[in-house]
Amino acid sequence: MVWDVSFTCDICGKAKGEANHWWMAAVGSVPCFEADGIDDLLREQRFTLMRWSRADSQNPDMYHLCGQGCAMQAMERFMTEGSLESR
Ligand SMILES: [Zn+2]
């Protein structure tokens, strides 16, 4: 399967081009993290921001962010609503 799909920003809907200043965010547990010693309740309170990685971008739990502005907006959404889903 070809994974070179085009992504869209989960905040503003912009399509990803060749330029790569994109970021990813996740709420709660992240598969690439060791979660030892952190209890489940705490895990849901976590907002994780990371640089774009081609491998992790395919993870359905990741939110795709087109840049700093949308990353800030995602964090703000998490802080006010506890989730990155738009209402
Ligand atoms: Zn965006």
Distance in angstroms (rounded) separating the CA atoms of residues 87 and 82: 12
**Residue 1 pLDDT:** 42
Q: Which residues surround ligand 1, an ion (CB under 5 A)?
A: 9, 11-12, 14, 66, 70
**Residue 54 pLDDT:** 87
**Residue 83 pLDDT:** 85
**Residue 17 pLDDT:** 85
Give me the number of domains the chain comprises. Answer: 1
The CA 71 to ligand 1 mean position distance, Å, reads 8
Q: What's the CA dihedral at 36, 39, 43, 48 to 10 degrees?
A: -30
**Mean pLDDT for each 10-residue chunk of the chain (87 residues)?**
71 86 83 54 74 90 94 94 80
**Residue 30 pLDDT:** 52
The CA 39 to ligand 1 mean position distance, Å, reads 32
Distance in angstroms (rounded) separating the CA atoms of residues 35 and 2: 31
Domain span holding position 83 = 1-87
